[in-house]
Structure 1
Amino acid sequence: MPLPEMDSGVGHSFGLEFDGVQIKSITEISGLKMEMDVIELKENGADGKYVVKKLPGRWKAPEITLTRGLTEDNSFDSWIKDSQFGKMNDVRKGGAIIVYDYEGAPVKRYKLTNAWPKSLEISALKAGDTSVLTEKLVITCERLEVE
């Protein structure tokens, strides 16, 4: 059931989808940011007064961090390994980050263009610790758009 128009969504669960492969066990996503440079044009107006105009510049590509619990799934591992060996034709992927509602229906999709992994970090390993082990994948892309 979709949310009423004036209600906000709740980040119930998230997923990553590349080339038809879905990873739904993501617990945190940060860095979803659409931003562009601002160009300042400084000139004197017709009346001789100093004027600063702000114009849109180039899009900035975001770095997005995905966190999930450590599992036997090695999709993050193999993706980062391919990028380390320079297989960029295989590594650059188009896909989306999907936000799901409490019933599992997609609420919003964020399309990624030419995304590839920059780094993979495993949480600290401490003897006797009872916290969940996680892996953080940082991906960069050429463009982020809302679908």
Structure 2
Amino acid sequence: MVARTSQFDPFRGYKFRVRFNNQVVAGLTKCSALTVSIESKEFRTGDMDGFKQKLPGMVSFEAITLEQGITTDKTFEAWATSMANYVGNKGADSQKTPDDFRKEIDIEIYNLNNEKVKAYRVYQCWVSKYTALPALDAASADVMIQTIVLENEGFQVLQ
């Protein structure tokens, strides 16, 4: 029996692009999941001693991790180091505020025909952790990977 594909086949996890400043991040190899968590609050009502009700509480959005092979493109690295330069230096970045380092990023999903089928906008991203250079090993032939962790304040489906 021959397997049939349909228009409802799931999309592949390796067909994606991430954009910021309306520019595709060069050499991006991995993007962690977009996750929202809603805290559950329990309380007892006055007339039912043996029963607890649950209500939604605070909403939080988990950090996103991006991994990129080290390239000559400086866009990724410039954003990743801009906050550290602002916090630890009173030089050129001292006139900027933390809001100047926040960016919206778009995560785009593509099907096997390379057509964009879904997109998400992630709001108010800023770099909370940056790995500029991985551990080096002369006995390995691995690609060098940079990593940034982005804090964010939510996302929405664009498409």
Identity %: 26
2:108 is the alignment partner of 1:106: no
Does the residue aligned with 1:50 lie in a helix, a strand or coil?
Answer: coil
Per-residue deviation at 1:28?
A: 1.3
Q: Which structure has greater helix proportion?
A: 2
Aligned to 1:145: 156
Match of 2:7 among 4, 26, 29: 4
Aligned to 1:131: 142
Q: Which structure has greater strand proportion?
A: 1
AA matched with 1:125: L
With normalisation by structure 2, the TM-score equals: 0.79
| Change beyond 3 A, Cα 1:24–1:35 | farther
Per-residue deviation at 1:128?
A: 3.1
Does the residue aligned with 2:64 lie in a helix, a strand or coil?
Answer: strand
Per-residue deviation at 1:49?
A: 4.4
Per-residue deviation at 1:101?
A: 2.0
AA matched with 1:96: D
Count of residue correspondences: 142
Counterpart-to-counterpart distance in 2, 1:24 and 1:50: 57
Counterpart-to-counterpart distance in 2, 1:146 and 1:24: 23
1:43-82 aligned within 5 A: 43-45=45-47, 48-82=48-82
Match of 1:33 among 14, 35, 39: 35
Indicate if the aligned counterparts of 2:17 and 2:24 stay in contact, CA closer than 8 A: yes
Counterpart-to-counterpart distance in 2, 1:83 and 1:10: 34
With normalisation by structure 1, the TM-score equals: 0.84
Q: Which string of whole-angstrom CA distances, capped at 9 and with x for unpartnered residues, describes residues 80-135 of structure 1? A: 22111144232111221122222322222222110111112132111132111111
Indicate if the aligned counterparts of 1:68 and 1:134 stay in contact, CA closer than 8 A: yes
Q: Which runs of 5+ in 1 are unaligned?
A: none
Counterpart-to-counterpart distance in 2, 1:24 and 1:36: 33
Q: Which is further off, 134-143 or 34-43?
A: 34-43
Per-residue deviation at 1:77?
A: 1.3
Counterpart-to-counterpart distance in 1, 2:115 and 2:26: 12
